[in-house]
Copies of this chain bind each other. A is one copy, B any other.
Amino acid sequence: MAGLARGLVRGLAYGGDYNPEQWSDDVVAEDMRLMRQAGVNLVSLGIFSWVVHEPADGELDFSWLDRTLDLLHAHGVAVDLGTGTASPPMWLHHAHPEMLPQDGSWEPLAPGGRMGWCPSSPVYRRYALRLVERLAQHVGDHPAVVLWHVSNEFGGGNARCHCPESARAFRRWVEQRYGTVDALNAAWGTSVWGNRYTAFEQVTTPAGRTTHNPGHLLDFERFSSEALLAHHRAERDVLRRWSSRPVTTNFMVGFGPDVVDYARWAPHVDVVSNDHYTHGDDPWRHEDVAFAGDRSRGMSGGRPWLLMEHAPSAASWYAVNHAKAPGELARHALGHVARGSDSVLFFQWRAAPAGAEQFHSAMVGHAGERSRVYQDVVALGDLLGRVGELAGSTVVGARVALLHDDEAGWALRGGLRPVNGMPYAETARAFHTELFTRNVTTDVVPPWVDLDPYDLVVVPGLFLVAPSTAKAVAAAAARGATVVVTWFSGIVGPTGAVVTGGHPGAFRDLLGVLGDEFVPVDDGVPVPLDNGWVGRRWSELVAADDADVVARFADGTAGGGAAVTRREVPGGGTAWYVATDLDEASLGDLVERLLAEAGVAPVTDASPGVEVVRRASADASYLVAVNHDTGAPGWVAAHGTDLVTGDRHRGRVPLALGGVAVVREDAAPGSRSDDQ
């Protein structure tokens, strides 16, 4: 991944998905006026415009695109140009129905909608690349175009395909990965239930009803992600041949596991961009913003990334689609910026009256210019203009790493487990929440990153762990870091097979424990520890062979046994093991202890409910602060100028109830300084 995140536009990018092909010329003219009024400087164009460019097989026509690019350019709006391949034209569906992806019961996706193509379909690939090539040739150097946007939300509908083409491709992938059938049999443990293969041609995708082999399931997830990645790379390579503009595709980073493995995709985009939609019924949705932001930054190697889509107000796919509360638009936008985004982009500019998303919110709603959201959008545009110098700066001061890996999540869900249906990353988010509320900047990173910068390494429910990860985590502890590993981490290796000899296999030696048997606990039943902490859902029989017992299970089948252990690593730091799912208060206590031990402090002082993150460039240092408390005004400790108001403060910068501030600090530390 090249470092092209800055410089698309002057200041922070502001705008959203724009679909003028849905509208008449007078509406488009109105759009230009409203965009200027709102300070929009970047739109994503042409994401679903294949059929506009190619209304019939091979008949390319870019006249609409030319007109639109010229118009936007004339109005000072830069363009993130979609390749348009997300939605194949209906004429192509009609000609090639075999192109549709098929689910695990071999039912095809319907034509229409989005992503109606098998990632391994050679027919689709050929048509898509022909379009992309002609498009790049035609407008690859248009001055309005500053970024390429490959397809759209890869995997949204075609993440897992079981059609005959995919089955063939999967067999090739398996053969390539394992070389011999014996190696395949060993990896998947096919001797169990007598399912040994004797030739690669016998391998199928894990479709149909049965209790599938977990190794098989895991590899199919990997294959599927890579099949989509191959398509992304194919389009990207065509674009690079004909255009100098950077290339991205919009991720959908959540808690994970995601539909594709974004962390492993990240090296293949020039800039990480992300679509983020909160869950309306999540009371901590601002923390969800922070988690996704910390994770997006973790994928982009700390460099600025782009918030490619988020909702101006309500979505429409939840059971109840909540409108944003007053001020939430700005708070979420700044929340993303605080975590390293150089953009605030929305889906979508103008609400469509028809189509599947007719009730999804937009910057300009059905009621038009007068709508609340548009008024807030104008105000936010003004605010972003004031803080534009943030662009290009990076988040600094993260001394905590929280390891996250989609493969661990895939492995967790792909088989029968002591507790089934457990979502991956719940413990990760619980830890992140405790760090978030304490304003401790945390990098959510894939396990292969360099752990040297970190004084606290959190390994939360990382079910699958590669030997190299185990080694790196142990090395961090050996050089002095505090490491904390939680229940059901390090259980299986890269093939999904249990590391035998005692749990958690990957970390047994580091932690100095030997786990023998899992003792899950029903939902709602507390798991008391003897130090007053309370766990949930899980206990274990753990022998603390070479570790101190911090807390023991107070009762139950694991009663009297170790629940939380701590090992002082000879000549180094410490390695903690937490053998239950601590409740919020207990986890808060633990996190306090870990932070104290690791010597990690908050970014700065702030009143309760205030989020604060530091971004810095070579020239300046900034505090981005958001007051999520809508019941009381707040403050953040700083000396500097609030770019939002222009006021200078020493000691405490005030925050309105539900308000935001961006403080350019008086004593500018060096860029990317880690010393606060």
Chain A interface residues (CB < 8 Å from chain B): 19, 21-22, 48-52, 55-56, 84, 86-87, 89-91, 93-94, 100, 103, 105, 107-114, 116, 157, 187-199, 201-202, 204, 206-216, 281, 313-314, 316-326, 351-361, 365-368, 370-373, 415-421, 495-503, 514-523, 537, 541, 543, 557
Given contacts A112-B195, A208-B110, A354-B215, contact A91 B202 (CB under 8 A): yes
Least CB distance from A9 to B in Å reads: 26
Chain copies in the assembly?
3
Q: Which residue of the partner chain, among B114, B202, B204, B420, contacts A110 with CB atoms under 8 Å?
A: B204
Q: A354-B214, A518-B314 are in contact. Are A192 and B19 (CB under 8 A)?
A: yes
CB distance from A536 to the nearest CB of B (A): 12
A31 to chain B, nearest CB (A): 14
Give the residue among A324, A359, A419, A541 with the most B Cβ atoms within 10 A.
Answer: A359
Complex: chain B residue closest to A199, CB-CB: B91
Question: Within the complex, which residue of B202, B322, B421, B537 is in contact with A90, where a contact is CB–CB below 8 Å?
Answer: B202
Point out the residues of chain B lying under 8 angstroms from A187, CB to CB: 354
Complex CA distance for A201 and B191, rounded to whole angstroms: 43
CA of A320 to CA of B114, assembled, Å: 37
Residues of B within 8 A of A515 (CB): 367
Residue among B108, B195, B319 making CB contact with A113, cutoff 8 Å = B195
Nearest chain B CB to A471 CB, angstrom units? 20
A196 near B51: Cβ-Cβ < 8 Å: yes
Q: A356 and B320 in contact (CB under 8 A), knowing A52-B194, A89-B196? A: no
- In the complex, A21 Cα to B515 Cα: how many Å? 26
Is the beta-carbon distance between A48 and B198 smaller than 8 angstroms? Answer: no
Say yes or no: A113 contacts B211, CB within 8 Å.
yes
Q: Within 8 Å CB of A196, what residues of B?
A: 51-52, 55, 89-90
Minimal beta-carbon separation of A169 from chain B (angstroms)? 18
- Asked whether A319 lies within 8 Å of B195 as measured between CB atoms, the reply is no
The docked-state distance in angstroms from the alpha carbon of A291 to that of B522 is 25
Alpha-carbon distance A84/B195, docked complex (angstroms): 12
**Contact indicator B313/A517 (Cβ below 8 Å):** yes
> Per a CB cutoff under 8 Å, which of B199, B212, B319 touches A356?
B212
Q: Which residues of B contact A195 (CB under 8 A)?
A: 51, 87, 90, 112-113, 355
Distance in angstroms between the alpha carbons of A12 and B566 in the assembled complex: 46
The complex places the Cα of A517 from the Cα of B112 at a distance, in Å, of 28
| With contact pairs A353-B500, A366-B500, A419-B319 given, residues A191 and B21 touching in the complex (Cβ less than 8 Å) | yes
Give every chain B residue within 8 A of A421 (Cβ-Cβ): 319
Contact call A516/B371, Cβ cutoff below 8 A: yes
Which residues of chain B are near A86, meaning CB under 8 Å? 194
Check B56 against A198 for contact (C-beta < 8 Å). yes
- CB nearest neighbor in B for A156: B211
User: Most B CB atoms within 10 A — which of A90, A187, A316, A360?
Assistant: A90
